[in-house]
Amino acid sequence: MAEQSEWRLHSGKYLGEISALCFLHLPSHLSSLPYLLAGTGSEVLLYDIETGKAIKSFHVFEGIRVHGISCSFLNSIEGSLSSAPAFKVVVFGERRVKLFNLRIEMKLRSRNQADEGIHLTLFHSLPKFSNWVLDVCFLKDYASSSHEGSHCLAVFQLAKFYFPLDSGYQI
């Protein structure tokens, strides 16, 4: 059995409450451990789990706290499993939803020097919703093709639920 490398979290300055977490799974030939996206305030921080350090910070909202993050692997640049994987990232907070493209260009020298090669680009900012957004996810199984699934958004609004209880309980 191969010996696993030891890693630990290190204390640092207080950056605020973490309000959202999402693992960013890199292709296995690049890393066995995922990166971690963490929402704090109006920023998303990218952590390298292997080193336990924050490697990049992205300002995604103005005056709105990040409440959730969802991501999906798109592909690698030019359709190959190169050293530049690309991801779809959705960030939401309050009544706002933003869609981003995230590209990570891995340096061959060391994962610790990947900072220059990490790009988060705003793809689309949805109009403000009338109610708070509670969750966002990618619906891969509902699209007729993988291309269609990456360009679709389903919005569900729940108004009232009635449960058939003897007491007439209404939510």
Lowest model confidence (mean pLDDT) among 10-19, 57-66, 98-107: 10-19
In the structure, what pLDDT confidence band is assigned to residue 170 with cuts at 50, 70 and 90? very low
Domain-embedded: residue 140: yes
Q: Burial-class residue 143 by CB neighbours within 10 Å (0-12, 13-18, 19+).
A: middle
Domain-embedded: residue 161: no
Sign of CA dihedral 10, 15, 16, 22: negative
What is the pTM for the complete model shown? 0.71
Domain-embedded: residue 166: no
Domain-embedded: residue 11: no
Domain-embedded: residue 40: yes
Domain-embedded: residue 35: yes
Please state the domain count of the chain.
1
Query: In the beta sheet, which residues pair with residue 75?
Result: 86
Domain-embedded: residue 6: no
10 pLDDT above the threshold of 80:
no
For the chain, counts of helices (H) and of strands (E): 1, 8
- Do 138 and 149 contact (CB within 8 A), yes or no? yes
Lowest model confidence (mean pLDDT) among 20-29, 46-55, 146-155: 146-155
- What's the one-letter identity of residue 116? E
Q: What is the mean pLDDT of residues 77-83?
A: 50
pLDDT digits (tens, 9 = 90+) for 83-92: 678 899 999 9
Domain-embedded: residue 42: yes
3-state secondary structure of 115: helix
3-state secondary structure of 78: helix
Cα atoms found within 13 Å of the Cα of residue 29, Cβ hemisphere only: 8
Q: Which of 9, 138, 115, 120 is nearest to 68 (CA)?
A: 138
Range of the domain at 96: 18-149
CA 43 from chain centre, in angstroms, equals 12
57 pLDDT above the threshold of 90:
yes
pLDDT digits (tens, 9 = 90+) for 93-149: 999 999 999 998 866 545 554 445 899 999 999 999 888 999 988 876 655 555 555
Q: What is the mean pLDDT of residues 156-170?
A: 52
